[in-house]
Structure 1
Amino acid sequence: MKILLIEDDRSTADYVAGGLSEDGHDLDHAVSGPTGLELACTREYDVMVIDRMLPGLDGLSVVRALRSGGKDTPVIFLTSVSGIDDRVEGLEAGGDDYLVKPFAFSELLARIHALGRRAPGRKEETVLKVGDLEMNLIARTVSRAGKPIELQPREFRLLEYMMRNRGRVLTRTMLLERVWDFHFDPKTNVVETHVSRLRAKVDKPFPTEMIRTVRSAGYVLNVSA
């Protein structure tokens, strides 16, 4: 699922982002109300997780603005404000669920999945296909031209991100942030090493390559080079 997290507390954001990434979700993160509202209005999400207390514009105001603008994306309020009246206020503002800090990530994940299933007209993507390359997100399997490909967990995440962004040049920074959750340059060749390993499995045994290097830019996955 595509999820928006609006949370200004770094430790909470890292905790949630890491867990959602490991579960295979695509996450955007905003640290203030205005930035989060802009993302929510200009991009499509399956679920939004929003803190109530935010700089610039509080979570209640963000959700009220979204609902008044016709956005019906499911929202989970994630907050330390735990009174009954506070929960009622959050739900009446347009929230669909309310989870109080501290919380167990497993419970947050279950609530996200539940809201995702209830989203109107939404059909969850379980299989990604690019040409003869196929990835099953439920079974966690990959095959090309019907031949199974064994991938390590990080290789799987790297390929999944590439397949979801087929035809788009992905920079080293983008891959570090989305696949490794690094928001800094670790000064290693971790990206290059994993792309090389992925090519050895996805491209080399087959007549056409799909993963291509774009000089001074990054990498792109497409049906053919």
Structure 2
Amino acid sequence: MYLLLIEDNPDLIENLCEFFESMGHAVDIAYNGLTGLGFALENSYDVIVLDLMLPGMDGLEVCSRLRREGHGTPVLMLTARDTLNNKLEGFASGADDYLVKPFALPELEARLNALSRRGRSEITRRRLIVGDLQFDPDTLRVERDGRRIELAPIPLKILALLMRRSPGVVRRVEIEREIWGDDPPDSDTLRAHLHALRTAIDRNFKPALLHTIRGMGYQLTGPDGR
């Protein structure tokens, strides 16, 4: 795992780093809340270990800021406070787990492994998949059969809509409303964007995934009809 440790106790940091590195994990360290928030926003970690009491910005505020920014990395909160209200405050701020000091290092690692697996599962669920075509809404990366596909913004939006609705048929008017709202351009404009999308995802691959349902709309389906 790639961990971010936000903690201001140097002795605890030393123990945690020695343990995690001996177990093959990589660790970044921040000694205050502001630095930790910056690290979390700039890098991609498997799990964040976050102390509650921190200089500069406490752990509750760090976690709240991360969630307001749409940051979904799992957070395990460390604290010496063990009342129910303290735990509820931590979860309300967006923490995924809560561990009271002192704790056993193997238990901490087990909890972090569980959070990391859960985080990877959430990422997989967010990814849109139809046949061998994949689209990651977070990174806007499109791949088919493992090959990267570049799309302009409008074909990309059309693809996202068709993948979300697959294997359903999406009517032309729904696509126009999704892209242009209540002021759609002439019909040739949509046809041109659909042609660009079809060329990108189907020209060099088999079978074709994008289908025109005459008189109804468009459908994106895999070879098994899903």
Unaligned runs of 5+ in 1: 124-225
Note the alpha carbon deviations across 1:81-116, whole angstroms, 9 max, x for none.
111100011011100000000000010000001001
What is the root-mean-square deviation in Å for CA atoms of aligned residues?
1.2
SS at match of 2:102: coil
Deviation (angstroms), 1:60: 0.4
> Aligned equivalents of 2:72 and 2:64: distance in 1?
11
In the other structure, the counterpart of 2:5 is 5
Deviation (angstroms), 1:17: 1.0
Note the alpha carbon deviations across 1:18-71, whole angstroms, 9 max, x for none.
111011011000000000000001111000000000000000000000000000
Query: Please, what TM-score do these two structures have when normalized by structure 2?
Result: 0.53
Aligned residue runs from structure 1 range 6-155, under 5 A: 6-121=6-121
Deviation (angstroms), 1:120: 3.5
SS at match of 1:18: helix
What is the identity, as a one-letter code, of the residue corresponding to 2:41? C
Unaligned runs of 5+ in 2: 125-226
> Aligned equivalents of 1:102 and 1:92: distance in 2?
23
Query: Please, what TM-score do these two structures have when normalized by structure 1?
Result: 0.53
Identical-residue share of aligned pairs (%): 46
What is the identity, as a one-letter code, of the residue corresponding to 1:38? G
> Aligned equivalents of 1:99 and 1:10: distance in 2?
18
> Aligned equivalents of 2:15 and 2:82: distance in 1?
20
In the other structure, the counterpart of 1:141 is none
What is the identity, as a one-letter code, of the residue corresponding to 2:7? E
Q: Which has the higher helix share?
A: 2
Deviation (angstroms), 1:11: 0.8
> Aligned equivalents of 1:42 and 1:65: distance in 2?
14
What is the identity, as a one-letter code, of the residue corresponding to 2:78? L
Q: How many residue pairs were aligned?
A: 123
Structure 1's consecutive aligned runs of 4 or more residues displaced over 3 angstroms after TM superposition are 120-123
SS at match of 2:13: helix
> Aligned equivalents of 1:27 and 1:83: distance in 2?
29
Pick the structure with greater CA Rg: 2
> Aligned equivalents of 2:41 and 2:25: distance in 1?
20
SS at match of 1:56: coil
> Aligned equivalents of 2:19 and 2:117: distance in 1?
19
What is the identity, as a one-letter code, of the residue corresponding to 2:40? A
What is the identity, as a one-letter code, of the residue corresponding to 1:114? A
Note the alpha carbon deviations across 1:123-182, whole angstroms, 9 max, x for none.
9xxxxxxxxxxxxxxxxxxxxxxxxxxxxxxxxxxxxxxxxxxxxxxxxxxxxxxxxxxx
